[in-house]
Amino acid sequence: MTIQVRTSGKYLVVELVSAAGRKYEVGYPVDAGYTENEVAEHAGALSKGLSETFLAVNWVPGAAPVTPSAQVQNLGIAEGYVSYDRGVVYNYRISFKNTKGWGFDFKDLTNDVYSCSTIRNGWHYIDYNSDDATIVGVA
């Protein structure tokens, strides 16, 4: 599968498909050193896939950023939140800062899963649509 990478401001962006078959986009920060070739090669390959064990989070759209539990921090997520995206296509944005880890899966209240490969530490985002967008788990 060929992954198309586009530049959007300070991010390299790829479009992927969720566990339920919905399109979503992942943003990789250029200032973290990501390159188009690197993102195209690794964007879909490094996520864990559909994990069965998720650590609990409660990222309600529009709520303030939260520092997650020690378990989630140990997984590599230092901070995260969900905002209402102002884009034309997507309604919600997961923003998270990782400190380690190479891929994360985020589960919303509909049990849909959005994966993001992170080969560098820093802030990443996932733009998505959902009928119940609260993120309740990360793996």
* One pLDDT digit (tens) per residue for the chain, 139 residues: 568 899 988 999 999 999 999 999 999 999 999 999 888 887 765 444 555 689 999 999 999 998 999 999 999 999 999 999 777 899 999 999 999 977 899 999 999 999 998 889 999 999 999 999 999 999 9
Residue 50: per-residue pLDDT:
54
Is residue 138 within 8 Å of 55, Cβ to Cβ? yes
Residue 14 confidence (pLDDT): 93
Instruction: Give the separation between CA 118 and CA 46, rounded to whole angstroms.
Output: 8
Residue 32, domain extent: 5-138
pLDDT, position 46 = 45
pLDDT of residue 52: 67
What pTM does this model have? Answer: 0.88
Count how many domains the chain has.
Answer: 1
DSSP string, the chain: -PPPEEEETTEEEEEEE-TTS-EEEEEEEGGGT--HHHHHHHTTTSS--S-S--EEEEE-TTSPPB---HHHHHHTEEEEEEEE--SSS-SEEEEEEESS-SEEEEEETT--EEEEE-SS-EEEEEEE--SS--EEEE-
